[in-house]
């Protein structure tokens, strides 16, 4: 099933056992991550399969003590990015806009300002169904999406996210900040369109 | 004179042993506070600020509602059984002990 399997030297019985004990239990988490990253179940399944295949081949190089889940997420994201890069090179189109909504950068939260009079405690967030939240996450640029998914959906620490994405902790903070602001803007727009909250001119 | 100034400064800077933080500082670290990423001292300082600051407390509550909505979708989804079976079988075919 896995290509190039004959290239690997093979793991010792002990290594096979530790892979089974340490890596395989994260299969659900890797699947969720792959699903949030790609937005497609079929793609997610391929990503997970490829991730575990690569992880298995690289298991001899895995340093015990590193958090295995982060390590698997790193592999999964690399596979995803490489595949996407290939697709993009193919049709020469950047699917994600690098343009950033300037509203997300201000210190004051514009969504809070907009919903303040009608819903100061942000109750509308609770009224949203999971699908709407996941859809809004899927619409984030990949770097923000990955940071938000790892932090808010998978519960990783800033340090673990930094290790997974191979960036400094400060970058993780700013990606989370920007990603969450963009997400709030989207969710606010959803909530207004669903009638959970009255529209305010401030956000238009 | 100098000691009086110092004492005054100290009183402004501390409140029951906790350093007083500005609203700007508190808001800039709001997500770190909610994510549990601050050290104990900073967490206490910010907690105290949010507790007494009428300007910042609603903002904290607002972000908290948002984070809770995100955390709600956190759990649940598992990989299809068929995928798990496929992966473990493929790995077993490769290795001796799986």
Calculate the dihedral angle through the C-alpha atoms of B13, B18, B24, B25, rounding to the nearest 10 degrees.
110
Q: Among A13-17, A46-50, A62-66, A180-184, where is mean pLDDT lowest?
A: A62-66
* Residue B7 to chain A, least CA–CA distance (Å): 33
Per-residue DSSP letter, A139: T
Long-range residue pairs from B47-51, CB within 8 A, at least 24 positions apart, any chain? B48/B15, B48/B16, B48/B18, B49/B20, B49/B21, B49/B23, B50/B26
Query: Does the distance separating the beta carbons of A19 and B91 come in below 8 Å?
Result: yes
pLDDT above 80 (res B94): no
| CB-based contact A48 B87, cutoff 8 Å | yes
Tokens of A57: 């081949």
- Name the residue of chain B whose CA is nearest to A130's CA: B73
Tokens 């100098």 belong to residue? B2
Question: A93 to chain B nearest CA, in Å?
Answer: 31
Give the predicted TM-score (pTM) of the model.
0.79
Q: What is the pLDDT of residues A46-58, one digit of tens each?
A: 999 999 999 999 9
ipTM, two decimals, is: 0.77
Return the pLDDT at A173. Answer: 95
Calculate how close chain A gets to B38, using CA atoms only, in Å.
11
* Residue contact A157–B37, C-beta within 8 A: yes
CA angle B82/A146/A39 to nearest 5° reads 45
At residue A117, the pLDDT reads 78
* Residue B3: predicted pLDDT: 60
Nearest one of B16, B48, B17 to B33, comparing CA atoms: B48
Is it the case that residue A25 has pLDDT exceeding 80? Answer: yes
A59 φ, ψ (degrees, to nearest 5): -60, -35
Contact flag A16-B96 (C-beta cutoff 8 Å): yes
Cross-chain residue pair A112–B24, CB shorter than 8 Å: no
**Structure confidence at residue B80 (pLDDT):** 92
Q: Say what the pLDDT of residue B8 is.
A: 53
Quote the mean pLDDT of chain A. Answer: 84
* Helix or strand run (H / E) with residue A142: helix A142-148
């Amino acid at each position: 099933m896995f290509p190039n399997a004959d290239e690997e030297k093979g793991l010792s019985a002990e290594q096979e056992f530790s892979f089974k004990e340490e890596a395989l239990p994260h299969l659900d988490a890797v699947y969720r991550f792959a699903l949030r990253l790609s937005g497609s179940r079929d793609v997610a399944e391929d990503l997970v399969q490829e991730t575990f295949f690569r992880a298995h081949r690289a298991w001899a190089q895995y340093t015990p003590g590193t958090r295995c889940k982060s390590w698997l997420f790193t592999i999964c994201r690399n596979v995803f990015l490489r595949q996407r890069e290939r697709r993009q090179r193919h049709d020469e189109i950047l699917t994600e806009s690098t343009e950033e909504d300037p509203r997300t950068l201000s210190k004051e939260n514009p969504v809070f300002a907009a919903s303040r009079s009608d819903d100061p405690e942000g109750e509308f967030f609770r009224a949203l169904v999971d699908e709407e939240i996941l859809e809004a996450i899927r619409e984030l640029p990949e770097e923000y999406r990955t940071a938000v998914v790892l932090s808010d959906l998978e519960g990783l620490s800033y340090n673990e996210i930094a290790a997974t994405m191979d960036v400094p902790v400060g970058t993780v903070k700013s990606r989370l900040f920007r990603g969450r602001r963009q997400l709030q803007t989207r969710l606010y727009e959803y909530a207004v369109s669903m009638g959970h909250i009255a529209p305010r001119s401030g956000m238009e | 004179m100098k000691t009086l100034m110092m004492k005054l400064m100290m009183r402004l800077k501390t409140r029951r042993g906790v350093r007083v933080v500005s609203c700007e500082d508190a808001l800039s670290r709001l997500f770190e506070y909610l994510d549990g990423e601050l050290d104990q001292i900073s967490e206490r300082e910010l907690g105290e600020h949010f507790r007494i600051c009428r300007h910042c407390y609603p903002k904290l509550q607002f972000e908290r509602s948002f984070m809770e909505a995100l955390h709600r979708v956190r759990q649940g989804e598992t990989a299809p059984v068929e995928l798990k079976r496929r992966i473990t079988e493929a790995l077993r075919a490769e290795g001796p002990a799986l």
